């Protein structure tokens, strides 16, 4: 839903789930915002207790020093076990990565908490504006659209075009689809310029009303640029048309890993020869590459390794990828992937 959620925290439940702002507790990650406490060395009571016992001339009677040592070691042991509980432990090298993904059926992965009903409820509470879609960061829309347009231009320059067609001005793509379209920000700002016809997939009706009846889309409707509008979530949508470009931005975080793999496989069956499935999403910034569940809109922010594993499982290869440039530093990094069947 969401074109709306931006990398910023924009909207798109199947829409652009844009880069949400990085929370302070996610910048230095232990787990759940816990940071490893600093441990003072100078002035440590254990040193003061040990020193007189080792070198004579105790400052306290021996019996009291022994009791003090027992107390100190008990306190240190408790603190160490607390630190162990509150800091993230790296997965051993010989641990199967599938144990952290719902693809394996394990219900403890972050995506196991996703609720489509909660996501729809959240997006229905969001205003159908660019500001609402992008989570209060409307200023990044132009940068985002320009980055996407540049990415597609580079892809098309590398693709095979009919003889005599200059790569500097390739023909429009036959048909594209904006998945998790929200209010159609990407369709109006970018896709209508690269495709003859653009279909829309978005479960929130008040968002698609902006496309089907809103004044801002009137020129595109009159020109016949807007195709079918599907009021479905991506987990329920099966393409029935052949597409040159299937665009997914800030929306696949509201699918579980298993749903995302199945969705990509469905898309691949209706991809025109030489076409692309594009995924543009926020990336998790944890040092351990763990996915992050967001209970506000019931979505996950995935790590780059997990995205790549899902693409591989869906039998898709990455033909191009890059990081979106120009976004504010307090937002998650946003990566764009162009995929084709292996």
| 293's tokens | 């569940």
Give Rg (Cα) of the chain.
26
Residue 281 near residue 308 (C-beta atoms within 8 A): no
Residue 64 has pLDDT above 60, yes or no: no
Q: How does pLDDT run across 137-178, given as a tens digit for each residue?
A: 999 999 999 999 999 999 999 887 655 566 667 899 999 999
Residue 315 has pLDDT above 60, yes or no: yes
Integer Cα distance of 292 and 271 in angstroms: 30
Long-range CB contacts for residues 34-43, cutoff 8 Å, separation at least 24: 34/86, 34/87, 36/83, 36/87, 37/79, 37/83
Residue 42 has pLDDT above 90, yes or no: no
The predicted pLDDT at position 7 comes to 44
Residue 3 has pLDDT above 80, yes or no: no
Mean pLDDT of the residues in the chain: 79
Residue 245 has pLDDT above 90, yes or no: yes
Q: How does pLDDT run across 181-215, given as a tens digit for each residue?
A: 999 999 999 999 999 999 999 999 999 999 999 99
Whole-structure pTM value? 0.73
Domain ranges of the chain: 2-28+107-341, 45-86
The residues, any chain, with a CB within 8 Å of residue 274's CB and separated by 6 or more, are 159, 160, 244, 340
Q: What is the CATH number of domain 2-28+107-341?
A: 3.40.50.150
- Work out the percent of the chain whose per-residue pLDDT is above 70: 66
The predicted pLDDT at position 143 comes to 98
Q: Where are the beta strands (DSSP E) in 265-332?
A: 271-282, 292-294, 299-301, 316-323
Instruction: Report, as an integer, the average pLDDT of 319-325.
Output: 98
Instruction: Report, as an integer, the average pLDDT of 234-254.
Output: 98
Integer Cα distance of 218 and 210 in angstroms: 10
Integer Cα distance of 184 and 249 in angstroms: 11
- Work out the percent of the chain whose per-residue pLDDT is above 90: 64
Distances (CA, A) of 1 to 94, 132, 172, 195: 37, 13, 26, 22
H helices present in 272-315, as ranges: 304-313
Q: How does pLDDT run across 75-118, given as a tens digit for each residue?
A: 665 455 443 333 333 333 333 333 345 554 444 799 999 999 99
Residue 69 has pLDDT above 80, yes or no: no
Residue 237 has pLDDT above 70, yes or no: yes
Question: Which of 215, 255, 216 lies closest to 235 in space, CA to CA?
Answer: 255
């Amino acid at each position: 839903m969401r074109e709306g959620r931006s990398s910023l925290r924009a909207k798109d439940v199947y829409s652009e789930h844009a880069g949400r702002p990085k929370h302070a507790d996610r910048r230095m990650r232990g787990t759940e915002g816990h940071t490893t406490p600093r441990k003072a060395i100078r002035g440590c009571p254990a040193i003061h207790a040990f020193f007189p016992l080792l070198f004579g001339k105790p400052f306290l009677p021996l019996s009291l020093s022994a009791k003090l040592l027992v107390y100190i070691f008990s306190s240190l042991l408790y603190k160490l076990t607390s630190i162990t509980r509150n800091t993230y432990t790296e997965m051993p090298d010989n641990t199967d990565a599938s144990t952290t993904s719902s693809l394996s059926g394990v219900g403890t992965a972050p995506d196991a908490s996703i609720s489509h009903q909660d996501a729809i409820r959240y997006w229905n509470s969001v205003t159908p504006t660019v500001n609402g879609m992008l989570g209060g960061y409307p200023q990044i829309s132009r940068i985002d659209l320009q980055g996407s347009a540049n990415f597609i231009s580079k892809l098309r320059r590398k693709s095979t075009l009919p003889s005599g067609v200059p790569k500097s001005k390739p023909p429009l793509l036959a048909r594209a689809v904006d998945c998790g379209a929200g209010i159609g920000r990407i369709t109006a700002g970018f896709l209508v310029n690269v495709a003859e016809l653009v279909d829309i997939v978005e479960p929130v009706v008040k968002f698609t009303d902006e496309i089907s009846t809103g004044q801002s889309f009137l020129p595109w409707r009159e020109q016949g640029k807007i195709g079918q509008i599907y009021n479905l979530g991506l987990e329920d949508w099966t393409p029935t048309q052949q597409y040159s470009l299937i665009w997914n931005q800030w929306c696949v975080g509201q699918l579980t890993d298993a749903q995302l793999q199945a969705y990509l496989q469905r898309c691949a069956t209706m991809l025109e020869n030489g076409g692309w499935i594009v995924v543009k999403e926020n990336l998790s910034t944890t040092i351990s590459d763990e996915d992050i569940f967001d209970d506000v809109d019931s979505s996950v922010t995935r790590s780059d390794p997990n995205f790549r594993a899902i693409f591989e499982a869906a039998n898709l290869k990455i033909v191009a990828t890059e990081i979106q440039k120009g976004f504010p530093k307090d937002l998650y990094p946003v990566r764009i992937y162009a995929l084709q069947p292996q």
